[in-house]
Structure formats: C-alpha cells, structure tokens
Chains A and B, each alone.
Chain A
Amino acid sequence: MGVSENHGSAKTYILGFLFSLILTAIPLWLVIQHVMSKTVLTVTILLIAVLQLIIQFFFFMHIRDGEKPRYHVMALVLGAVMVFTIVAGSIWIMTFNSQVH
C-alpha cells in the first residue's frame, strides 16, 4: 500500500505521558508557591499549556500521520487562527467596556 503510517510505539506513548505529567506538575507548583509576579506567572502557565497541547498532538494524536498534502493540519491551522481571533478579540474588545465604568 505504501502508506507510511506511524502508529507510535509503547516508548512514544510512555514518553508523552511522562512529559504531560511533568508539564502538569510544573505550573501547579508555580501557582501554589507564588514564585513569580502575577503577569509572568500567567504567561508562563499559558505557554506550558501550549507545550502540553503540542505533546498531545505529536505523541498521542500522531498529527504527522497520513499522506501529503496533510489537509487535517491545514484545517487545524485554520482552526487555530479562528480560536485566536475569537478569544483574543473578545478579551481585547471587552476591555473597552470595562473602561467606561
């Protein structure tokens, strides 16, 4: 069939699981210990969440599978643009609302 399908191995699943546990423990510890200022902490834990998402995509969801062109990756990128627009746009526009009061 000539399809280069990679279903992952036990090793990649275990690695992915370990990474996700570590990336859960770090932000939890940071928040409980209050080691940095609120803004830095917020940005840090959001970045860790994005890392965690990448781990799930590559180690568990095998995003690199499938034949080229990878339409599912294109769909995901379009989705990411929409998600960013909706969330960032809503937060940004609603800050004007709070300035009125």
Chain B
Amino acid sequence: MAQSAISMDAPQEHQHDTFKLLGFWIFLVTDCIIFACLFAVYAVLRTHTDGDLTGRELFEVKGFTAETLILLASSFTSGLASLAMHKGSKKQLLGWLTVTVLLGLSFVGLEITEFAKMASEGARISTNAFLSSFFTLVGTHGLHVSFGLIWMIGVMVQIARFGIDSLTKEKVTIVGLYWHFLDVVWIFIFTVVYLLGVM
C-alpha cells in the first residue's frame, strides 16, 4: 500500500488543500440555500393545518429536547475528535469518532420513532400542508445526518487502515465541518419548528 505518501510541505500541495476546503465551504453555502427554501416553505405553511393536528398537539418537548442535546453533544465530540487528530492520537481520534457516530445513530433513531408515532396518530406527510412542509424540512435534515454517519464510518475505516496522514486529516476536517453544519441547521429547526410550534 504505497498510498498517501503525499508531503504536506510542498507549497502547491498546500494551495491545493486550501482550495479543497474552500470548495467544501461553498458546498455548505449551497446546502444552506436548500434549507433556506425548505424553511421558507415551512414558515409560510405552518399555519395551514386544515383545522386539527397542529404542532402544539403533535410535538413533544421531551423528545425534541433530547434530540437537540444529543446533536449538540455529537458536535462537541466531533470537535474533540479533530483535537485528538492534531495531537496525533489515532486511538483517541477513533474513539471520539465512534462516540460521535453512536450519538448520531441515537439521534436518527429518536427521529424515526417520532415520525412513526406521528404517523400512527394520523399525522402523515399527506395530511395537511403544515405536515407536508414539516416532514420535508425535518426529513431532509435527518437524511443529511444519516448520510453523514455513513461518511464518518467510511473515514474511520480509512484511519484504521492508513493511520493519520495529510489525506485522512483533510477528510476528518471536512466531515467535521459537515457535522457542525448539520448542528447549525438543527438549531434553527429546534427554534423555528419545535419551539415556535409548542409556543
């Protein structure tokens, strides 16, 4: 395996790294715009409940608070993972990434349970305009988290095989940025969807 013998010290190589990171920031901006559109739709349709099944009746404070705390904690542990990486500790890096993945899995699990419970109460995506926009917005975020989990596990496998080098470092940094970004989006779902919903 003669891979990843790339030297970070070469100036062109470094230029390349900065461009890659910039490219990912630009992706995050475009992803922000997707969520902005979904938030706009939700903001317009949230009162269109066709009489019953409003957020106040459907949202459970305990459930969405738990989801929020879990995601905040996972953002923190992914930060600790990148800290361990810069210290050069492969074991700690893999450990914190595992914790992050487990927290992410429990978040997705809670969300699926919440959706299933809502559907069993008759609140489906086709029930009213409010629920259509709710499931689209929160579901898109959930899909992002699920995709992030697969990605993070992929990066973990690579670290386990190749160790910490300039290439895997870059990958951990980028998946970490993605993970923090999803936390930012969730903060707005927590505020706009859930808190304004139960108000």
Contact = CB atoms under 8 A, between A and B. Distances in A.
Interface of A: 1, 3, 7-10, 13, 16-17, 20-21, 24, 27-28, 31-32, 38, 41-42, 45-46, 48-49, 52-53, 56-57, 59-61, 66-67, 71-72, 75-76, 78-79, 82-83, 86-87, 89-91, 94
15 contacts: A13-B80, A16-B76, A24-B187, A28-B65, A31-B198, A31-B199, A49-B188, A49-B190, A53-B187, A59-B79, A71-B25, A76-B29, A83-B36, A86-B36, A90-B43
A32 B30 CA distance: 34
A31 B195 contact: yes
Interface of B: 8-9, 14, 18, 21-22, 25-26, 28-30, 32-33, 36-37, 39-41, 43-44, 61, 65, 68-69, 72-73, 75-76, 79-80, 82-83, 86, 177, 180-181, 183-184, 187-188, 190-192, 195-196, 198-199
Contacts, number: 122
A76 B30 CA distance: 10
A67 B18 contact: yes
Contact of B18 (A46, A49, A66, A91): A66
Name, among A3, A45, A87, the residue most crowded by chain B CB atoms within 10 Å (CB to CB): A87
